[in-house]
Amino acid sequence: METAQAALKISELPFLAEEAPEGEGGDETTAAGSQGTVGEPFVENPRMSCREVNVFYGEKHAIKDVSIDIAGNEVLAMIGPSGCGKSTFLRCLNRMNDTVDTCRVSGTILLDGMDIYDRSVDVVPLRARVGMVFQKPNPFPKSIYDNIAYGPRIHGLAESRSELDAIVEQSLKKAGLWQEVYDRLDQPGTGLSGGQQQRLCIARAIAVQPEVILMDEPCSALDPIATATVEDLIAELQEQYTIVIVTHNMQQAARVSQRTAYFHLGTLIEVGPTDRIFTNPRHRLTEDYITGRFG
């Protein structure tokens, strides 16, 4: 059923049929197609499953034939050198790429068996189910309270003011920010420090109770203490949610994730259990990267 749908999808996309040039380099990375991904990209009972995803920014082929599953209640870490397409792939998962004019996506991405790129799918509820925390903190220029309350308000998640207050408090507590801001909820969110802002954005994302949370380098602007808070949060969230996290910090990936995916020049090179990837990488590129030979 799923595979039939995927096949149908691809045949519908004419630009994929013949061309889809095989990378720029022509080196060994081209060998790694979807079949070429080393390791165990697929799981049983996936929450999300991606098949032969290709992304183009105009002429630029940013993601090449990526196929991967994401299991429920797991943390998947995505690593790879800068510019290899981690953010791009992440943004495919809640269709944030729709906002980029030049961006075209092909292939299938299923969420609980539903093709999220299907014409009948409404992106608004999709993004409520698949939340996102961005690489740069981007709080709204509103009060701290309104930042958190905005999502629940537009989705109608709270019946009353007290319910809304409870959601705000819960979310801030989960993000480890409550202690710092509980007495100034009416002050602008933009007045917080960079690390606080990032946690505010995390709180904002979880306030709408998504099923999947996408995090794009959430800790790149945080100090070790705040990073630890966020990592604790991820561990805690994992019990309810599925989390995909992009990180440049290898230790972080090792600490928080169960599985790790390694991207290189738009191609998914290797996927596997985090311990194994870091102790015993199978692909030479993965090995080079985690041992710090490049990237």
Ligand X SMILES: Nc1ncnc2c1ncn2[C@@H]1O[C@H](COP(=O)(O)OP(=O)(O)OP(=O)(O)O)[C@@H](O)[C@H]1O
Interface contacts to ligand X, rule CB under 6 A = 57, 60, 62, 82-88, 100, 102
Strand pairing report for 242-246 and 259-264 = unpaired
| Shortest spacing between CB 21 and another protein, in angstroms | 25
Residue 39 binds which of another protein, ligand X, Mg ion, none (CB < 5-8 A, kind-dependent): none
By CB under 5 A, tell whether 247 contacts Mg ion: no
Q: What tokens appear for 258 in the block? A: 């169960």
Strands ordered across the beta sheet of 114-115:
60-71, 46-57, 103-111, 114-115
Residue 61 binding: pick among Mg ion, ligand X, another protein, none (C-beta 5-8 Å cut-off by kind): none
Instruction: Work out how close the CB of 10 gets to Mg ion at its nearest, in angstroms, rounded to a whole number.
Output: 26
Least Å distance, CB 2 to Mg ion, is: 29
C-beta of 62 vs 226, nearer to ligand X:
62
Residue of minimal Cβ distance to Mg ion = 87
Q: Which is nearer to ligand X, 61 or 259 (CB)?
A: 61
Report the residue number, 3 or 82, with the smaller CB distance to ligand X: 82
Distance CA 189, CA 184 (A): 10
Compare residues 70 and 185 and give the one whose CB is closer to ligand X. Answer: 70
What is the distance between the alpha carbons of residues 201 and 278, in angstroms, rounded to a whole number?
A: 30
Residue 87 as a binder of Mg ion (CB under 5 A): the answer is yes
Given a contact cutoff of 8 angstroms between Cβ atoms, the answer to whether 71 and 47 are in contact is yes
> Whole-number minimum distance, CB 8 to ligand X, in Å?
27
Please, which residue, 157 or 228, has the CB nearer to another protein? 157
Residues that bind another protein (CB under 8 A): 94, 96, 99, 101, 124-128, 131-132, 134, 136, 138-142, 150-151, 154-155, 188, 190, 201, 204-205, 207-208
Residue 85 binding target from Mg ion, another protein, ligand X, none, CB below 5 to 8 Å by type: ligand X
Q: To the nearest whole angstrom, how small is the minimum distance from the Cβ of residue 135 to Mg ion?
A: 5
Closest to Mg ion by CB, 143 vs 227, is 227
Minimum CB distance to ligand X, residue 149 (Å): 30
By CB under 5 A, name the binding residues for Mg ion: 87
